[in-house]
Amino acid sequence: MAFGSFDNGSGRSHTVSEINMVPLIDVMLVLLVIFIITAPLLSHSIKINIPQVTAQPVEQEPKIIDLAVDANGMLFWNEQAINMDQLKERFAAEAVLDPQPDLRIRADLNTRYEVLAQVMSSARQSGLKRLGFITRPGSDAQTPNAAENAAAKGDSPAPTAAGATGSTQTQPQAGQP
């Protein structure tokens, strides 16, 4: 349906190319009414009492087994001497615990590797999974006991991180730089 003017003098009719806004406004008003009605329904809430949990996780620290091996191959389970057969029995007893204990092996510098290999093999066969070694710094660094022994013999002690040991610093007196 084309709208034209009543002026037919030219014989050509012109169409009106404007958008009819009335249907768009009607749709917008219907949507506005729907949102006005449904908005209060969406904000309605139901109060529910939910139980509060105050439990904290239980942290279990595994037991630590200190296994020492001296230069002669003697074994010490937490400072008690044992032999290899007793060691295997204790490993089997400790492997079934939950959580498994940490096995920390301290070996003398002159311990044969064969003894350490037997200890590690029996720990692995019994099912222990947590195995570690306790080491000391190299021979070039003095331990605190070595520094005390050197001082008792009259040797000069090793320097500390501060640069000097046993020295005291004096405060400058008034008038001195």
Domains and CATH numbers, the chain: 64-134 (3.30.420)
Between 155 and 97, the higher pLDDT residue: 97
Structure confidence by residue, pLDDT tens digits, 2-58: 555 555 555 566 777 888 899 999 999 999 999 998 888 777 777 888 888 777 777
Whole-angstrom distance, CA of residue 15 vs CA of residue 5? 9
Structure confidence by residue, pLDDT tens digits, 125-175: 999 888 899 887 765 544 445 545 444 444 444 433 333 333 333 344 444
- Cβ atoms of 91 and 120 within 8 Å: the answer is no
Looking at residue 139, what is its pLDDT? Answer: 58
| Consecutive H or E run containing 38 | helix 22-42
How many CA atoms lie within 13 Å of 8's alpha carbon, on the beta-carbon side? Answer: 1
pTM: 0.46
134: β partners? 106
Using CA atoms of 68, 71, 74, 79 in order, give the dihedral in degrees to the nearest 10. Answer: -30
